[in-house]
Chains A and B, each alone.
Chain A
Amino acid sequence: MSSTFSKMPLAALALFVAAGLAVAPSAEAAGNRGGGGGGHHAGGGAKAKPQVNHSRTDKRANNVRSTSVNNVNVNKNVNVNVDNNRGCCNNGWDNDYHPIATAAAVTATVAVTSAIVGSIVNAPPPGCVPVNYGGYIYQQCGSTWYQPQGSQYVVIAPPY
């Protein structure tokens, strides 16, 4: 029983990776940069606190098939992994990773070609708009999505 559960998200993930890679290069070129006023980007608060850096994280660490759950009463998809077609799992408050937030080289400038899923930039291009999905903030720039990660941003496949 559980083995059928565990196979489903794997397949979904594989699809997800493939789709994300295919889409990425052209996405940034499309000037369709959300309807956002103000060039708000680049991590705000100048905090002294050290930031996490996941640039050396192994890709396998993001290939997640299921997670723990944090509550007994308000349960969502504990039994079946159908909550979305992207990763797996539920959006626990502790669980702010994204299945494809895996590392590549850090690029100093945001070149058009850098918007490959998994690539990391120091700041998203101007004109991105913040979007709250599942309780986490992403920066959307047209069809390219960035997930904040410490003081940097990882290009991810669209979360929805």
Chain B
Amino acid sequence: MKQRRRLLGLLALSLAAPGAYAQTAAATTAPAATAANLVDPASVQALKDMGAHLQTLKRFRVTTELSGERVLADGQKLQHGASATMDVARPDRLRATMRSPRSERVLFFDGKTVTLYTPAQRAYSTVELNDTLTGLVEKLENRFGIEVPLSDLFVWGTPAAPLDKIESAMNAGQDFIGDDLCDHYAFRQGQLDWQIWITTGAKPLPRKVVITNRSDEARPQSVSLIAWNLNPGFNDSVFRFVPPKGATKAEIVAPKAK
């Protein structure tokens, strides 16, 4: 009895094997055909619509709460927090206050010069930079290794946000962020998986962004909650930096490109 069962089992296995083999072979050759289907055009269009709407906002205050992760040598992850408030006047004015446990820093940009001020040190660095906000975030990053919070906000809706690099796009349903009903989308591009929650309706705004870094198997992830004030009270003087008494100028050193 036992023997017969074993024999039967063997037979089933040998019969099933060729089928399984054929299936995996088919799967490895198939992707070319399905690659296009991974990108849902409506999800990409939602990004375009949001980008176009962002570009129409002339003056706003946006605040963000961020949770980021560091991966330690053994793969354990630590989470940390930071927050930022940004006063923005398109096309070329920005004041960003960035807070994290170890420092507070303020970035001033008036379309011609950009200053980074660290109040606790009373130290500031100023650089000539005649550009738009899109140019600002790109140049600060590439020349000085300085990241502007929510820099995507200044890039979406411009050619600098290449939607054709997206390898996968899907609608992940709807969700509430605070009281705002949002459409939830998920994308994959390069080493990044990212998700965005965009308010529903005719004036789409991003309310939450999650970015998963796949270049490390521990997949460190950042979560940014975004809040909007489209009728801010500031005037243009907030974009000008006036060195406080006793402030010193700090030489700014470009990171070594490698």
Contacts and interface: CB of A to CB of B under 8 A. Distances in A.
A75 to B, nearest CB: 8
Interface stretch (B168-176, B235-243, B245-253): B245-253
A68 B211 contact: yes
Interface stretch (B7-15, B17-25, B30-38, B138-146): B138-146
Interface stretch (B55-63, B97-105, B197-205): B97-105
A112 interface: no
Contacts of B147: 70-71, 74, 90-93, 135
Interface string B101-127: 111010000000000101111110100
14 contacts: A43-B120, A60-B73, A68-B68, A69-B192, A73-B155, A73-B162, A74-B160, A85-B256, A131-B251, A131-B252, A137-B103, A148-B103, A148-B120, A160-B256
Given A78-B215, A94-B100, A43 B121 contact: yes
B70 A45 contact: no
A66 B120 contact: no
Given A96-B102, A148-B121, A150-B102, A134 B215 contact: no
A91 B224 contact: no
B94 interface: no
B150 interface: yes
Contact of A78 (B98, B151, B192): B192
B213 interface: yes
Contact of A65 (B73, B144, B151): B73
Nearest to A133: B253
Interface of B: 66, 68-73, 75, 78, 80-82, 84, 98, 100-103, 105, 116, 118-123, 125, 137-138, 140-142, 144-152, 155-156, 160-162, 187, 189-192, 194, 209, 211-218, 220-222, 224, 246, 248, 250-253, 255-256, 258
B68 A132 contact: no
Interface size class of A (residues with CB under 8 A): 35 or more
The 4 A-B residue pairs whose C-beta atoms are closest, nearest first, are: A94-B82, A135-B146, A130-B250, A130-B123
Contacts of B81: 94
Given A68-B213, A70-B68, A148-B103, A137 B73 contact: no
Given A68-B222, A132-B251, A73 B69 contact: no
Nearest to B81: A94
Given A78-B191, A93-B82, A129-B251, A66 B103 contact: no
Given A83-B258, A133-B253, A135-B105, 4 more contacts: A93-B148, A95-B80, A132-B250, A134-B144
A69 B194 CA distance: 10
